[in-house]
Amino acid sequence: MRLPKFEHVQPSSREEASRLLQEHGSRARLVSGGTDLYPRMKYGLTRPDVLISLKGLPATPPTVDPNGDLHVDALMTLADLARSQTVLEKTPLLSEAALSVASNQIRHMGTLGGNLCQENRCPYYNQTHTFQFVEPCFKRNGDQCYLIPKGKKCWAVFSSDTAPALISLGASATILAPKERRQLPLENLYTGDPLKPLTISDGEVLTEIIIPCPLSLRGTAFMKFTLRGGMEYAALSVAVVLDMENDGVLCRAARITVGSVGAGPIRAGKGENAMAGQRLSKNLFQEVAQLVVSETHPFPHHGYSAAYLRACLEVETRRAFSLAAEQITRNPGDPG
Amino acid sequence: MENKLDYVGQRIPRKDGPVKVTGRAKYTVDVQLPGMLVGRILRSPHPHAKILNIDVSRAERLKGVKAIITSDDTIGVKHAFVDTPRYPADEPPIAKDRVLFVGEAVAAVAATDADVAEEALSLIKVDYEPLPAVFDVEEAMQPGAPEVHTSHPKVKEPLSNIAGKTESGWGDIKTGFAQADYVREDRFESHLRTHGYLEPQATVASYEPGGKLNVLTSSQGPFFKRAKLAQTLGLPFSRVRVHKAYVGGGFGGKIDLFYHEFCAALLSMKTGRPVKIEASREEIFTAYRHGEPLIIEIKTGVKNDGTLVAQQFRVINKSGAYRGTGVVVIFLAWGFIIGAYRVPNFKYEGYAVYTNNPPRTAQRGHGCPQMRFAVESQLDMIAEKLGIDPLEIRLKNARQAGEILPNGDNVYNCGLTECIEKAAEHTEFKKKYGQARSASPSMGSIRRGIGIGVSAYITGSLIYPNSSSTVIKMNDDGTVTLLTGALDIGQGAETILCQIVAEELKLPMEDIEVIAADTETTPVDIGSWISGNAFVTGNAVRVAGTEVREKLLSIAAEELEASLEDLVLKDKCVYVAGSPSHKLTYQQLVSLSIQKRDGDPIIGEGHWRTVRGEPYHPSLATTKGRWSDSYAFGAQVAEVEVDIETGQARLIRAVTAHDCGFPINPTLVEGQMDGQVSMALGHAFMEEVLMKEGRTLNPSWLDYRMPTIHNTAKSEVIDVITERYEIGRPYRTKEVGEGYVSGILAAIANAVYDAVGVRLYTTPFTPEKILQGLGKLK
């Protein structure tokens, strides 16, 4: 449980970080708060020779552009994000998701970018392998899964809390490469492959998240189910955004993203379609929640069975809909 | 003599508070000695395997490696928590020829730093031949199961892997069940939990050239460690000195001799340099000892009015690869049944069964939470069947003051009935009980429930050497120094012992210096386990204090020309009553004593032990023999909220009505209660060491979910005082640190049932089990 030796490089800009990343290739890792990376290094799950630290770079406070879109620096700590008045006003969903991560101390270290780019987790994988589970599993470049006997694939789950919230908000990510800067819908950051969860490659740095301004009346809700309510990854999470027609009764469009029960965040497209154009009602919420469960196929993980996660996801999704609907009723004139 | 108490019974701040909260207390890991090496342990990756060969040559050549030890370097003496003719020690201090669990020590390295030590481990090549292993305890019992150890020769049943058996009974069980109007049989099962001590295990051993081994180790008592180290290292007791170390929690998990302790000592002997070994938290989760899960089968017969007439138990302890405390818990499990209720016809069988899991050990309550959960759950089921309320059935069967238990123990001023009544009254139990089950769906998804659980717990037990000896010496300036072998592991031992000294001598707390828990300079004490500290060590201190007081008074009487009855102790002086100027200070009295009592600077000695007058401890095999001097009783009420949609339950209120004798320090008593409530709620809802084939799946605080401050419940304490402290007289205070983790667990289970009608037969009470019980899991 000791941090192995590594070279620590402190670039003076994101651009330099990107250059350094490319230069060192797979020998290097980007680090900011280190709350995901350092424990993994202590476990011997990753052994970078070089750490390129973004820690010294100042994070730009959240801004709203002329279109009303919210720009959030990926280097913001989760604590700063959770208490930013701008974020709270524009996207309370993101504030809530950020506040639900781990503990106060970790939120002060961990950044939004780190939370979005965290590695997938599994109880068999996230430990040292000196005398327990020594034979490598899929995620340690082996050919077995300890979790599902004779399993043909890796079952490690992606547990970011902010990712489902941002995907439901339709956020896009700015990726900085040495020669270009590109935008991609945040959901495209995720491969759905637990062995390589992110689509970005060597030399690329996630620098910013842009959350589009809602076009109409909106209700949002984030649910994170845990056993002890803090200092814990989610058993499951669900982020719901309901955009309403101006009458405040018909749902114009819905975005539903489920977290922690799959290899990446899961958009519940069928559920979203079933919600669009409908009048909000308890029955609708129940039907759509069931649909969300049916299209999500939760992975069993960390002691939770798939059957339980299905049952719980249905309840939490339905509750998220009700909370989002309550928000709409409470603030009928406020398109936030 | 006047019995106005100034210190005992007062809310006096902890003696060790300032040094701990200011960070000045040195724990074992803080210790740095010149030339100190770092030790690391190589552990078995197999749950069961033959060791064919160990090649340390590459590791030895690594720069910075100073010593490597394997079983070849040991004297081949086994050790164990229990080491008796019936249960001889079965654990090698380092595995020899065969490994029996994942994490068993195979070799250890001492090197100049931790990186080198860890690299050296990776260079040691061990050839294993894997053997069939068994992890499920009931599979392990089957004839033909992989053999971890030969079944105990005295157990004649055709069962495998039996580490030990306890049998007990009285009355006539057949007649008892024949008399019953209602008989029911249930099976309960508990799960694996860890202790959760925040200070990881650590040892610094330093072998001096003269042949003396000095050891600092995070433990629950130095004398037990000294005995085991001396035995396994082949050193005379007097050549091993275990020093006092501050301890960041033990809860039963730091009693046994551990690999890191033995290896640090042997590595230091080999190198002649101090060696420190710290266990990582992950090692503690994966290779150290957790608590003891039990399978409990109960058959109970009652009359229609709820009177218990017969009870039969079959208990199986899911032991690990060595006996550990496995044969103790099957004895204790019996004991934790007998204290609370009268059962005229009784039969008990307990088995400890080897598996290829890591060995287990005592954990706060040592079987009591598991047993009370089972007994109290079944009692509620019986009450419901008979249409009696949970209070009535308990009151009907509760032991009363002066009853003699089947083993000959006396419950003396048992306050159980009063505890039940007060806990019920305080919580309006009768009004609330059964309300949730008739609740309408319009209440939303939350159901509230209330439940009660009862416990009786020993006040120290007669396990050799459950004794304590203390010395109080007066200093020239009239202050005193207390020498005690007792170790304060956070429960406040030093504080309450000083309160007793302060009371006997009417001396401010700050004038008492404590020298504690050092095998060389302090007299023997069993240590802070088995729930006897306040009673056993406390009485030893009181005896020593009495001797000092009597010496002070005797000289004062002579000098002041007053009779003993007229003298009063106050403010470090002895006065003649009614004549405050007619006095001698303690300082003067010390000086006079030296002058007139042949140099005696005033020293008092005190000794105490459990069940005085009984020569032997009770039989682990038959339970025969006296067990404890007195029992603490308690009734605990839990109120829970259960979400019937997610199955999630939480404890919102815990009320403990306790008969702990009397509180020497009420704040510390309440601290024990609060701690036990939060431990029990972790037990009930969150904590579980998840294992697969002998390997641990959640070896971190992140994935092993101990409650945080946000999960703790409101904990209320009601005193039922049944004993008193009288200056200069033996007292019978009762235990307070273990029993109350038990009744509340049972109360929580019963409250969950009250809330949602789901009877839980296994711990923990996960959302999944509750939803399953509600029929909501597809």
- Give how far B697 is from chain A: nearest CA, Å: 5
Q: For A205-222, write each residue's pLDDT tens digit.
A: 999 999 999 999 999 999
pLDDT of residue A127: 97
The pLDDT, as a whole number, for residue A335 is 46
Condensed to tens digits (0 to 9), the pLDDT of residues B295-318 reads 999 999 999 999 999 999 999 999
Peptide bond into B465 cis (omega under 30): yes
Min distance B22 CA to chain A CA atoms (Å): 21
Record: contact B281-A1, CB cut-off 8 A: yes
Cα separations in angstroms, B310 against A42, A198, B388: 56, 64, 18
Question: Does A231 contact B702 at a Cβ distance shorter than 8 Å?
Answer: yes
So what's the pLDDT on residue A150?
81
Tokens of B156: 């004649």
- Which CATH code, of 3.30.43.10, 3.20.20.140, 3.40.190.10, 3.40.50.280, is assigned to A1-53? 3.30.43.10
B700 touches chain A (CB under 8 A): yes
B573-576 and B567-570 beta bridge pairing: antiparallel
- Other C-beta atoms lying within 10 Å of the C-beta of residue A22: 16
Q: Is the pLDDT of residue A331 over 80?
A: no
Query: Is residue B440 very low, low, confident or very high in pLDDT (cuts 50, 70, 90)?
Result: low
Cβ within 8 Å of residue B731, ≥6 positions away: B538, B539, B542, B661, B662, B723, B724, B725
Q: B503 and B238 in contact (C-beta within 8 Å)?
A: no
B51-79 average pLDDT score: 98
Kindly state the tokens that stand for A3. 């941090």
pLDDT band at B111 (very low <50, low <70, confident <90, very high): very high
Q: Could you say which of A128, A225, A230 has the minimum Cβ distance to residue B708?
A: A230
User: Is B113 at the interface with chain A, CB within 8 A?
Assistant: no
CA gyration radius, chain B: 27
Report the percent of chain B where pLDDT is more than 70.
Answer: 99
Q: Could you tell me the domains of chain B?
A: 17-25+467-609 (3.30.365.10), 31-131+198-249+254-287 (3.90.1170.50), 294-461+617-773 (3.30.365.10)
Grouping H, G, I as helix, E, B as strand and the rest as coil, residue B563 is coil
Average the pLDDT over A235-239 and give the result: 98
pLDDT at site B436:
81
Query: Of A29, A8, A2, which Cα lies nearest the Cα of A113?
Result: A29
CB B772 within 8 A of CB B573: no
Mean pLDDT of chain A, nearest integer: 95
State residue B465's pLDDT score: 66
Distance separating alpha carbons of residues B341 and B334, to the nearest angstrom: 13
Model confidence at B439, pLDDT cuts 50, 70, 90, reads: low
Chain B residues touching A101 at Cβ < 8 A: none
CA A329/CA B686 separation, integer angstroms: 37
Tell me if A190 sits within 8 A of A199, measured CB to CB. yes
B724 closest CA partner among B6, B12, B9:
B9
Q: Is residue B10 over pLDDT 90?
A: yes
* Option in A124, A225, A228 nearest B708 (CB): A228
Label the pairing between strands B308-318 and B275-278: unpaired
- Nearest-Cα residue of chain A relative to residue B644: A315
Which two three-digit tokens encode residue A18?
Answer: 């990107």
> Is the pLDDT assigned to residue B321 strictly greater than 50?
yes
Asked if A133 and B287 come within 8 Å (Cβ–Cβ), the reply is no
How confident is residue B441, by pLDDT bands cut at 50, 70 and 90? low
Give mean pLDDT, residues A74-90: 98
DSSP of A236-280? EEEEEEEEE-TTSSBEEEEEEEEESSSSS-EE-HHHHHHHTTPBP
For chain B, what percent of residues have pLDDT higher than 90?
Answer: 96
Judge whether residue B510 has pLDDT over 50. yes
- As a whole number, the mean pLDDT across chain B is 96
Residue A336: per-residue pLDDT:
42
pLDDT in tens, A11-34: 999 999 999 999 999 999 999 999
pLDDT of residue B464: 63
- CATH topology for A218-330 is Enolase-like; domain 1 (3.30.390)
Q: Pull the structure tokens for residue A236.
A: 């499951």
Burial of residue B27 (CB within 10 Å: 0-12, 13-18, 19+) is middle
Q: How confident is the model at residue A332 (pLDDT cuts 50, 70, 90)?
A: low
Q: What angle do CA A312, A318, A322 make, to 5 degrees?
A: 140
Q: Sort out which chain A residues have CB atoms less than 8 A from B712's CB and list them.
A: none
A149 touches chain B (CB under 8 A): no
What is residue B299's three-state secondary structure? strand
Beta strands in B45-158 (DSSP E): 49-55, 65-69, 98-99, 105-111, 125-130
Closest CA to B127 of B97, B94, B93, B92: B97
Query: CB contact, 8 Å: A306 with chain B?
Result: no
Q: Quote ipTM for the complex.
A: 0.96
CB atoms near residue A282 (< 10 Å) = 11
- Angle between helix axes B666-681 and B743-756 (nearest 10 degrees) is 50
Q: How far apart are CA A311 and CA A315, in angstroms?
A: 7
pLDDT band at A314 (very low <50, low <70, confident <90, very high): very high
Instruction: Please give the C-alpha separations between residue A270 and each of A188, A292, A323, A324, B679, in angstroms, as whole numbers.
Output: 18, 7, 20, 19, 44
B705: contact with A, CB 8 A cutoff: yes
**What is the rounded CA–CA span in Å between residue B643 and residue B447?**
6
User: Exposed/middle/buried for B24, CB within 10 Å: 0-12, 13-18, 19+?
Assistant: exposed
- pLDDT value at residue B462: 78
Note the pLDDT tens digit of each residue in B147-157: 999 999 999 99
Residues of B in contact with A130 (CB under 8 A): 43, 45, 121-122
Residues of chain A with CATH 3.30.465.10: 65-117+158-211
Q: Where does CATH 3.30.390.50 sit in chain A?
A: 218-330
Q: Provide CATH 3.30.43.10 ranges for chain A.
A: 1-53
**A65-117+158-211 is a CATH 3.30.465.10 domain:** yes
Q: What is the mean pLDDT of residues A173-195?
A: 95
What is the Rg, in whole angstroms, of the alpha carbon atoms belonging to chain A? 20
3-class DSSP state for residue B649? strand
Interface test with B, best of A308, A313, A318 (most B CBs within 10 A): A308
More confident residue, B133 or A151: B133
- Residue B1 clears pLDDT 80, i.e. is over it: no
Measured CA to CA, the distance from residue A148 to residue A129 in angstroms comes to 18
Q: Is B119 on the interface with A (CB under 8 A)?
A: no
- Nearest-Cα distance to chain B for A315, in Å, is 7
